[in-house]
Amino acid sequence: MHKLTFIPDSKCILGEGPLYKENENSLYWSDIKDKRIYKYDLNSKTVEHFQFQKTIASFVFTSENKLLATTNEGYEYLDLKTKEITSLINPEEELINNRFNDGKCDAKGRYFAGTMDNNEEKITGSLYCLDKNICVKKEKDLFISNGLGWNKNSSKFYLTDSPKRVIYVYDYDLETSTMSNKQIFVRIKDEDGYPDGLCLDEEDYIWSAHWAGSKITRYKADGSIDKIIELPVPNVTSCCFGGKDFKTLFITSAQKGLSKEELLAFPLSGSTFILETNVKGQKPNLYQH
């Protein structure tokens, strides 16, 4: 592992959803509470942000080079230039206190995304799959649906429920998007905080961010811990791989939930970090219309 650095001018209240765009050599992520999308150009080392009027929890790029997001009003297309928002589908229109959270596409280009009670009080979350603009519920009774991902051959699917301190693993059928044989992959100890966003590498190891845990844990496929990466902030929110060789780990964090004293003690809270690793990460999948 190499030295940890951070992206300047990028502090978020609740940084989430990092996503690397290979053809631009750029990293995108959102600030859920500030309703912004950030873009960091790795070539010019410059940061841009795009302000919207809706909560943006996760987003993916599509096969037509559009940006499709999960907002507080469902799946919606966002135009970064015009700020125009085009609604696609909202599977929880009647659950006014719910919002979407983390999401990703599988290898067939289906957009999986979970929901949660915005007040973090009730177990009203579900997991949805958007497949060619048809939305199907895949899982229910989630507290805060969070980090998710697949192993390299798409035979396993991982899903985090943060307050339960659990990452689940399912058998996954890529052809049908069927999830089965739900098991507890890991249960996080109280002193290690809460599992948040995650990503996988080419070796099928799982990298999980710890909210209130100041670290990222790399798990082997059997659930044992391979290594721990300590970070100078309490609330580590998510991570993804990118860079020209896909060995760069990008890590988001949050200021949310910290007192004034804690923000003074951990001044980099809310920053997005960069860590060069010696392992290649999985590339993100595009949404297929």
**Cα(61)–Cα(2) distance, integer angstroms:** 29
Catalytic residue among 34, 106, 161, 196: 196
Question: Using CB atoms within 10 A of its CB, is residue 189 exposed (0-12), middle (13-18) or buried (19+)?
Answer: exposed
The two structure tokens encoding residue 86: 């085009």
Judge whether 204 counts as a catalytic residue: no
Q: Which among 8, 40, 9, 10 has a CA at the least distance from the CA of 24?
A: 40
Q: Nearest CA to 222 among 198, 195, 247, 204?
A: 204
CA distance 133 to 88: 8
Other CB atoms within a 10 A radius of the CB of residue 219 amount to 21
Active site residues: 196
